[in-house]
């Protein structure tokens, strides 16, 4: 039965077994993962020793435990946009899953959506968009930095999502997105989004759609909102979303010794039976991490009305 239908891994489709050419995520331990390009004959070094792709990875089921050369073990995971976001090579500052999730819902992305994005950056958001709009949608992404544009296009190919995306090496503020009247949604993560608002409008369907701009500074938000209103966008709304991680711990709170009480004084055996030393209460609780990201950026959403 095995091998009758060989589904190839991609970022938009699950497969069961690791194959040559896949991008797998190696789980090394708590919050420690790395992406691996699976290739016949290749080896990957980890702190637990080497992983030999041909014997240790190819043909293994995703989610299996893989024993490394030094006897340590890791798990091999199927790639998802979320795992990619925490393992991808940074070429720019990236968007993380908390913001991505909000953007995806508030832009109303779903299979079939046509989306414009700029800049492409390291492709963290792009992968999440592609996952959501597949198999019938399309992403038009513009990146003005030539090297970054080429690199991300290469990654899309490796991740087998290149049929869903067009990468353009152009400045969206000057040249727009390269498409007119096709987009259901536009996302902007650029230093001066207000300069791109009119291009966003041009790129969108005449029936309307949703737009989002991500900016770290409130002054940028202010100017973007003004530009959006000036271009006739409606339902302009700015939000900020913060992730709080709760670390689960077992804690033990000691109980103070109040000294022998009157009852114990009259009955000396009771006082002897309850030594005050181990008096504590153990419980499961959560503690916040010592430091958390307090700000990523403001998300400004708006609706383009029918024009």
Partner 1 sequence: MADNVDEDSQYRIKEGDYVVLKRGDIFKAVQIQLKKKVIFEKQWFFLDKAVGQLYSSTFEIVSGGILQPLKPKDTESPTDAKEAGTDNRNIVDDGKSQKLTRDDIETLKEQGLKGQEIIQRLIESSSTFRDKTEYAQDKYIKKKKKKYENTVTILKPSCRILAMMYHGREPGKICHLRYDTLAQMLTLANIHAGSKVLVFETCAGLVLGSVMERMGGYGSVIQMYPGGGPVRAGVESFGFPEHFHDMLHEFPICHVNALLAGTLDTTAKDPSADSKKSDMSAEEEQNQPKAEPEEQSMETNTEADGTHDHEKDEREKLKEARAQGKKVKQEEKRKKLAAAAALLEGRNADGLVIASRFHPCPVLMGLLKFLSPSRPFVVYSQYKEALIECYTKLKDHGGTVNLRLTDTWLRHYQVLPNRTHPVLLMSGGGGYLLSGTTVAADRSKPAGSRRAEEPAAKRLKLTDTEG
Spatial contact of 18 and 38, defined as CB atoms under 8 Å apart:
yes
Spatial contact of 303 and 210, defined as CB atoms under 8 Å apart:
yes
Can residue 289 be called a binding residue for partner 1 (CB under 8 A)?
Answer: no
Q: Which of 46, 118, 132, 213 binds partner 1 (CB under 8 A)?
A: 132
Q: Which of 12, 26, 125, 165 binds partner 1 (CB under 8 A)?
A: 12
How far apart are alpha carbons 242 and 73 in whole angstroms?
Answer: 34
User: Footprint of partner 1 on residues 145-164 (CB under 8 A)?
Assistant: none
Can residue 65 be called a binding residue for partner 1 (CB under 8 A)?
Answer: yes
Q: Which of 34, 230, 239, 255 binds partner 1 (CB under 8 A)?
A: 239
Spatial contact of 187 and 207, defined as CB atoms under 8 Å apart:
no
- Give the E-state strand segments of 56-133 in sequence order: 65-67, 73-77, 114-118
C-alpha distance from residue 172 to each of 119, 139, 168 (Å): 8, 15, 9
Q: Which of 248, 253, 277, 281 binds partner 1 (CB under 8 A)?
A: 248
Q: Please state the closest distance from residue 251 (CB atom) to partner 1, in A.
A: 12
Can residue 50 be called a binding residue for partner 1 (CB under 8 A)?
Answer: no
Q: Which residues pair with 44 in a beta bridge?
A: 51
Helix, coil or strand: residue 216: coil
Range in contact with partner 1 (rule: CB under 8 A) among 43-51, 70-78, 118-126, 162-170: 70-78
DSSP 8-state class, residue 56: I
Q: Which of 88, 182, 236, 271 binds partner 1 (CB under 8 A)?
A: 236
How far apart are alpha carbons 298 and 296 in whole angstroms?
Answer: 7
Can residue 204 be called a binding residue for partner 1 (CB under 8 A)?
Answer: no
In this structure, how many other beta carbons lie within 10 angstroms of the beta carbon of residue 74? 25
C-alpha distance from residue 117 to each of 80, 103, 151, 256, 296 (Å): 20, 12, 16, 60, 18
How far apart are alpha carbons 237 and 122 in whole angstroms?
Answer: 27
Can residue 265 be called a binding residue for partner 1 (CB under 8 A)?
Answer: no
Q: How far apart are the first and last CA of the chain?
A: 55
User: Footprint of partner 1 on residues 100-119 (CB under 8 A)?
Assistant: 100-102, 104-106, 108, 110-112
Q: Please state the closest distance from residue 131 (CB atom) to partner 1, in A.
A: 5
Q: Please state the closest distance from residue 147 (CB atom) to partner 1, in A.
A: 29
Can residue 244 be called a binding residue for partner 1 (CB under 8 A)?
Answer: yes
Q: Looking at beta carbons only, is 6 or 270 nearer to partner 1?
A: 6
Q: Please state the closest distance from residue 107 (CB atom) to partner 1, in A.
A: 8
Q: Which of 253, 269, 272, 284 binds partner 1 (CB under 8 A)?
A: 284
Can residue 215 be called a binding residue for partner 1 (CB under 8 A)?
Answer: no
Q: Which of 92, 97, 170, 231 binds partner 1 (CB under 8 A)?
A: 97
Residues in the chain: 307
In this structure, how many other beta carbons lie within 10 angstroms of the beta carbon of residue 52? 16
H or E segment and range at residue 228? helix 218-230
Q: Looking at beta carbons only, is 169 or 303 nearer to partner 1?
A: 303
How far apart are alpha carbons 229 and 300 in whole angstroms?
Answer: 12
Interface residues with partner 1 (CB under 8 A) are 1-2, 4-5, 7, 12-14, 16, 27, 61-65, 75-78, 80-83, 97-98, 100-102, 104-106, 108, 110-112, 128, 131-132, 134-136, 207-208, 218, 221-222, 225-226, 236-248, 284-286, 298, 300, 303, 305-306
């Amino acid at each position: 039965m095995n091998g009758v239908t060989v589904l190839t891994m991609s970022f938009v489709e699950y497969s069961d077994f690791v194959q040559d050419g896949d991008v797998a995520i190696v789980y090394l331990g708590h919050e420690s993962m790395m992406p691996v390009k699976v290739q016949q004959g290749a080896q990957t070094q980890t702190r637990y020793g080497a992983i030999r792709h041909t014997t240790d990875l190819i043909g293994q089921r995703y989610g299996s435990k893989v024993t490394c050369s030094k006897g340590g073990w890791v798990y091999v995971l199927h790639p998802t946009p979320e795992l990619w976001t925490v393992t991808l090579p940074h070429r720019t500052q990236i968007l993380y899953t908390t913001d991505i999730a909000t953007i995806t819902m508030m832009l109303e992305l779903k299979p079939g959506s046509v989306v414009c994005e700029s800049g492409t950056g390291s492709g963290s958001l792009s992968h999440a968009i592609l996952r959501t709009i597949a198999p019938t949608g399309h992403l038009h992404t513009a990146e003005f930095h030539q090297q970054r544009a080429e690199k991300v296009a290469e990654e899309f190919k490796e991740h087998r999502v290149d049929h869903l995306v067009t990468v353009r090496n152009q400045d969206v503020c000057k040249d727009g997105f390269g498409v007119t009247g096709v987009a259901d949604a536009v996302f902007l993560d650029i230093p001066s989004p207000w300069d791109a608002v009119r291009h966003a409008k041009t790129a969108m369907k005449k029936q309307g759609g949703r737009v989002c701009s991500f900016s770290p500074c409130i002054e940028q938000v202010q100017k973007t909102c003004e530009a959006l209103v000036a271009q006739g966008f409606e339902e302009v709304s700015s939000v900020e979303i913060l992730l709080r991680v709760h670390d689960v711990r077992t804690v033990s709170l000691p109980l103070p010794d109040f000294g022998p009480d009157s009852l114990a004084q009259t009955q000396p055996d009771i006082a002897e039976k309850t030594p005050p030393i181990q008096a504590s209460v153990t419980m499961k609780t959560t503690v916040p991490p010592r430091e958390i990201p307090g700000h990523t950026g403001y998300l400004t959403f708006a609706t383009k009305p029918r024009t």
